[in-house]
Amino acid sequence: MRLHADLAERAVSFADEAEWTASPTAGIERRVLECHGDEEARMTGIVRYRPNSRSAGRKRSPGEEILVLNGAFADDAGAYPRGTYIRNPPGAGQESWSDGGCVLFVKRCQFHPDDRARVVVDTHAEEWFPGLSRGIAVLPLHGFGSERVSLVRYAPQTRFAPHDHPGGEEILVVDGAVEDEEGRYAAGSWLRNPPGSRHAPFSLEGCLLYVKIGHLPAIVA
């Protein structure tokens, strides 16, 4: 399967266009946002565990980045409530499950070869910092090389000045809605702006965003 696989192209998946499909594991569904091949290939998506669902770990994981959007998630290393950010670098696969059900944002097989740190962040317990524009707050989650991952919060009626993204940008709208020159993106929407793109986002009602920048190569996938 290939979906939004050209990293040099802008890609958008609106929340109201979401299509859930069954995964190879019973009780686990997914909404694929970006995919470059088979089950071991680069993938970005929303994954939904039904209550008491369990996924057996792969013999060797390609590396996963996870944000718990709803419910509670668990694996062999611990339990993670809503708002937890997790990075499991490539290595031995872990069994994972959810007793009460959960919804996750997942990025798989997208680690830099030298980025080997396991990261777990309780975003409800961390400090937020002022952003570059008034009304914006930032909670850093991870950084390696040019890559930066953060939660970004816009107060209502906040506008960000026009700016460039030499290494691209990826956004998941966690709550509220954000807008730019191309349209409006409600909670659950995902967009990927390619390297060299420029935009001026704003939010009339306020929003919470997952934002990753500096991670896209200026090549065609």
Sign for the CA dihedral angle at 102, 30, 165, 142 comes to: positive
Pair 138, 97 in one domain: no
Pair 134, 186 in one domain: yes
Pair 139, 176 in one domain: yes
Sign for the CA dihedral angle at 84, 123, 199, 8 comes to: negative
What residues pair up with 203 in beta bridges, in sequence order? Answer: 158
Pair 141, 184 in one domain: yes
pLDDT tens across 162-203, in order? 999 999 999 999 999 999 999 999 999 999 999 999 999 999
Within a domain: residue 11? Answer: no
pLDDT tens across 5-23, in order? 999 999 999 998 888 999 9
Query: Considering only CA atoms, which of 10, 35, 23 is closest in space to residue 185?
Result: 10
Pair 94, 177 in one domain: no
Residue 158's domain comprises: 129-213
Pair 136, 178 in one domain: yes
Q: Of 122, 154, 178, which one is at a domain's C-terminal end?
A: 122
CATH number at residue 78: 2.60.120.10
C-alpha distance across the termini of the chain, in Å:
14
Q: How many domains does the chain have?
A: 2
Q: Say how far apart CA 81 and CA 210 lie, in whole Å.
A: 17
Pair 100, 174 in one domain: no
Q: Of 67, 95, 122, which one is at a domain's C-terminal end?
A: 122
Q: Of 70, 105, 122, which one is at a domain's C-terminal end?
A: 122
pLDDT tens across 21-49, in order? 999 899 999 999 999 877 678 999 999 99
Question: Does the pLDDT value for residue 215 go beyond 70?
Answer: yes
Q: Say how far apart CA 187 and CA 209 lie, in whole Å.
A: 9
Pair 150, 187 in one domain: yes
Within a domain: residue 219? Answer: no
Pair 29, 109 in one domain: yes
**Residue 15 three-state SS:** helix
